[in-house]
Structure formats: C-alpha cells, structure tokens
Amino acid sequence: MESDALKAGKERVRKLLVEPLTARGLKRAGGATVAQHEATMEGLAARLAYMSAENLGALADVVEQHGQGKHKDRWPSEVVICNWARQLQEPPPSDSRFVTTYLRSRVGRQALAEGWAVELYLSIKKFGQPPNGFVVKTLKDEADASKRRRGRIEAESRFGTVAPADRQWLEWYHMVEARVAAIMDAQDTEGDVA
C-alpha cells in the first residue's frame, strides 16, 4: 500500500518529467521492450517522488539536453537521471530497518493510538535504540506540548496572526506525521519487535 505522499510524488514525476519529455519526442532506450521501458518509468517515478515541482522541471530540461542515441532522442538510463536529480535535490534520508520495524511494533501502534508516534519516531531515529520507561514518559510530555503548540498555531492561523517560525514548525511537524503514517501504513511481513 502506497502512502498518499508517495502517490502524489509519483504523479508529479509523471506530469512534470515523463509525460512532457515523451510528448517532446524522447523515446525508449534502444533494445528496451515497451514493458521494460514502462517499468523503468515507474521506477523513476518512485525514486524521484521526493522532488519538488520546480526541481523536476529543471531535471526535465537536463534530461532533454542529454538525450542518448544517434539522434539524441532516447531516454538516458535511470541511474544517470537519478544522479542528475541528486545534484538538483538531495533525497531525504531513509529510515533504517530498526526505525521502520519498531514503529510497526506493538509500542509503535500504542504510540500512534495515544498520540506520541511522531516523538517516538524522532527519538528512535536520533538514538537508534528503543526508549526506556523514563524516555517514554518524556516523549509523551513532548507530544502533549506539541499538541498544545499545534492548537495555538492553528488558532492563530485562522486569524492570520501566526509567526513565520511557528508556521515553519507546523509544516515540519505535519511532514514528520506524514512520514510516520507512511511507515505505519506500509505492509510488513516481519512482525513485531516488542
């Protein structure tokens, strides 16, 4: 199951990179079947889903200028395109297997139900180990403080009086929430760790 963010990102890649370049005449690499080309484009969409619309537009220009083949009208390889993409916008750091597995564990599900999953995620990502009882209490306290801050910022937003730093913090918090939701939504066959 894909998260909404991944679906939106893949669609953005299709609309701003794959479809425009195909419409301009970029063709599948020589020797690649239609099925292979479609699989490559799908893989490219998944790998570049993190990119902003602006950077995808810039990447489309680069790919178009560096077409392959005799007539410079063939898609470069996925690796080459991803390397160009990385120069324009670094991909977000990925989460370790420990982080994803622990979030999907009984403790992670409990944290999600009780509203401190974001704080748990940040803690295990930073320290690389399960929190002890004292740390869990601290995470719950931090989650309560975050909830109050979110409420205050959202109230201020309705009146147009929110400070730019608070707006940035809220956007960051929502981004982390979306990341946690994506991890929790992903299918996992390994089971619980705790």
pLDDT at 56: 95
pLDDT at 1: 38
Low-confidence ranges of the chain (pLDDT < 70): 1-3, 93-94, 186-194
pLDDT at 137: 97
- Residue-wise pLDDT for 91-107, tens only, equals 776 677 888 899 999 99
pLDDT at 93: 63
CB within 8 A of 41, min separation 6: which ones? 14, 18
Question: pTM above 0.75?
Answer: no
pLDDT at 70: 92
